[in-house]
Amino acid sequence: MSLTPFHLAIPVHDLVAARNFYGGTMGLAEGRSSDCWIDYNLFGHQLVVHQVELGKQAEKGNATHTPEAGRNAVDGHDVPVPHFGVVLEMQAWQQLATRLKNEGVSFAIEPYIRFQGQPGEQATLFFYDPSGNALEFKAFRDIESQLFAK
């Protein structure tokens, strides 16, 4: 499966905390940056963290930033919505899970195998960045047959 990289821009309330988390804790390579945003290489994809003042959008008539809109029950866990992440190769997922544990990251959903023995069986984990953005990383033993399994 050959995919082109996606681009995702997310709001953060503290650029220094975001740099420490994404560059330090997660170990992502930093790309271009300014005094209000930073590009990261998120496993081959472009993640941009933009510093925003929470509530600033409300002044312009838009809704305030609410990182978590709700939760959905999936395989016995409350999954935060919205969330984002990357589907990784199993070895890369295991390395990330180990790194996050070693860095003391508090998981919203601890690393585990979801839908065990069923179509779509996958390794998954959830955590939050310092601004409350929810991230999920997952992996499949056979991505070609399991990613969109019914």
CA neighbours closer than 13 Å in the CB half-sphere of residue 1? 12
Q: How much is the pLDDT for 72?
A: 87
Q: What are phi and psi of 145, to 5 degrees?
A: -95, -20
The mean per-residue pLDDT over the stretch 137-142 comes to: 94
- Under DSSP, the state recorded for 22 is I
pLDDT tens-digit profile of 33-78? 999 999 999 999 999 999 998 665 444 444 445 566 788 889 888 8
Instruction: Report the predicted TM-score, pTM, of the whole model to 2 decimal places.
Output: 0.87
Q: Which residues contact 7 (CB under 8 A, 6 or more apart)?
A: 45, 46, 48
Domains of the chain, start order: 7-146 (3.10.180.10)
pLDDT in tens, 2-43: 789 999 999 999 999 999 999 999 999 999 999 999 999 999
